[in-house]
Amino acid sequence: MAVSPIVPNHDDSPWYKIMESKGKVWEKVANEAGAEIRGSYNANIVEFEMTQQVNSYQLRVYGKRELTTVNNSGIFSEVLRLQLKANGIEQEKFLKAGGGSFLNLFFNLSGKYKHKASVDGYKIKYNSASTLEKVIKTKIFEVSRVNRLTVDAEGLSLEMQAIPMDVRGARRVRDFWQIIL
């Protein structure tokens, strides 16, 4: 499978080239890892889903960048989600990170986390200092704005506000879970 165009780029649109580039970066990363990828793009949108079975883990990466016109202005919305289904993760590796917002008041009502920290504007709840150190060393917060990161009994979930434009950044996101687990 591939990330393929919906329509050809007849008018040499720079937006089309950006959307194509983001799709092709993830297609290359999927091919390197032996993962399946499917998606499409045109000048207004790129959307793809990459899936891979890694031992007993199921990895899914979903990305979407869309141009919407509002009041004659173009607004981009962008999201990249990485999910790893991995049952049986040790509670010591549990971690939850999010931006500093009002909703973080309710962040730790479940009591799953022993410690709290603030790193680069993110509120982080965690059980083990070594897990927190691993997350910080990955520099995942520098790749893109992280909306949320969760490691719990069901696996790992990472949501970012931007799809990396280059293969190196995409690989860093794809392989992020290997450093944590």
Q: What is the spatial distance between Cα 130 and Cα 115, in angstroms, rounded to a whole number?
A: 12
Give the residue from 46, 104, 31, 54 showing the smallest Cα distance to 80.
Answer: 46
Tell me what pLDDT residue 72 has.
79
Which pLDDT band, with edges at 50, 70 and 90, does 110 fall under?
Answer: low
- Is the predicted pLDDT of residue 3 greater than 80, yes or no? yes
Q: What is the spatial distance between Cα 150 and Cα 127, in angstroms, rounded to a whole number?
A: 12
Q: What is the spatial distance between Cα 41 and Cα 102, in angstroms, rounded to a whole number?
A: 36
3-state SS assignment for residue 14: helix
Token pair of 54, please? 């890694």
Q: What is the spatial distance between Cα 47 and Cα 23, in angstroms, rounded to a whole number?
A: 8
pTM of the predicted model, to two decimals?
A: 0.87
> Average pLDDT of 132-154?
90
> Average pLDDT of 134-160?
90
Domain ranges of the chain: 3-179
Q: Is 55 left (phi over 0), alpha (psi -120 to 50) or beta?
A: left
* Pair 41, 19: CB distance under 8 Å: yes
Tell me what pLDDT residue 25 has.
96
**What are 42-98's pLDDT values in tens digits?**
999 999 999 999 888 999 999 999 988 778 787 889 999 999 998 888 999 999 998
What's the half-sphere exposure (Cβ side, CA atoms, 13 Å) at 102? Answer: 0
Tell me what pLDDT residue 74 has.
79
